[in-house]
Amino acid sequence: MKTVKEIARDMAYYSKGNLHDIDHFLRVWGYARDIADGECLSKRERYVLEVAAITHDIACPLCREKYGNTDGKNQEREGAVLVRAFLRDAGIPGELLERIVFLVGHHHSYDAVNGTDYQILLEADYIANALENHTPPSAVRQALKSVFRTKSGIEEAKTMLHLSSHS
């Protein structure tokens, strides 16, 4: 089975030098690891989470070209297909691969969370996007209540988005 690092390297190559795409997945992966360090994940869950964090936006280039945008639903549907092909030769056991495909196929669905791996992926991606989009502090504070669930995710968001820990 390929290591997470090997998959990250494959994903960087797949990103064809697109700085935004490479930077985004590296940061989402980093936030996901930071958050996961503070939560109780099995080795398998941790592997699934990290691979999903690295590959979650795999459909962005295709969606930009095909639809002219990276809207959530198209990206989820296209991403689930692309990630399965991308990981075909990674030697990942079926059960883990199915969970990775599921997470990539649901990473914009805030109402279907069914596990800590899923929750952490949403939180890590939220932090990366809020930084990129200069999301106002009031909206981030709202998200801390409506989107975030893990204690370490809330701490990570407050640190990265420079919110006072008392807010």
Where b means 16+ CB within 10 Å and e means fewer, 2-28 reads eebeebbebbbebbeeeeebbebbbbb
Question: How far, in Å, CA of 88 to CA of 110, rounded?
Answer: 27
**CB 125 to Fe ion: min, Å:** 4
**Among all chains, which residue has been given the structure tokens 């649901």?**
106
Query: Of residues 33-52, which lie at the interface with Fe ion (CB under 5 A)?
Result: none
**CB 63 to Fe ion: min, Å:** 12
* Alpha helices (H) along 38-105: 43-55, 60-67, 72-86, 94-104
**CB 114 to Fe ion: min, Å:** 19
Q: Note whether 153 and 119 are within 8 A (CB).
A: yes
- Tell me the number of residues near Fe ion by CB under 5 A: 2
**CB 56 to Fe ion: min, Å:** 5
Candidate residues 39, 57, 76, 156; the one interacting with Fe ion per rule CB under 5 A: 57
* By the rule CB under 5 A, 21 interacts with Fe ion: no
DSSP codes of every residue in 14-32: HTTT-HHHHHHHHHHHHHH
Candidate residues 21, 78, 125, 156; the one interacting with Fe ion per rule CB under 5 A: 125
Span of 10-18, 35-43, 108-116, 123-131 interacting with Fe ion by CB under 5 A: 123-131
Site residues (vs Fe ion, CB under 5 A): 57, 125
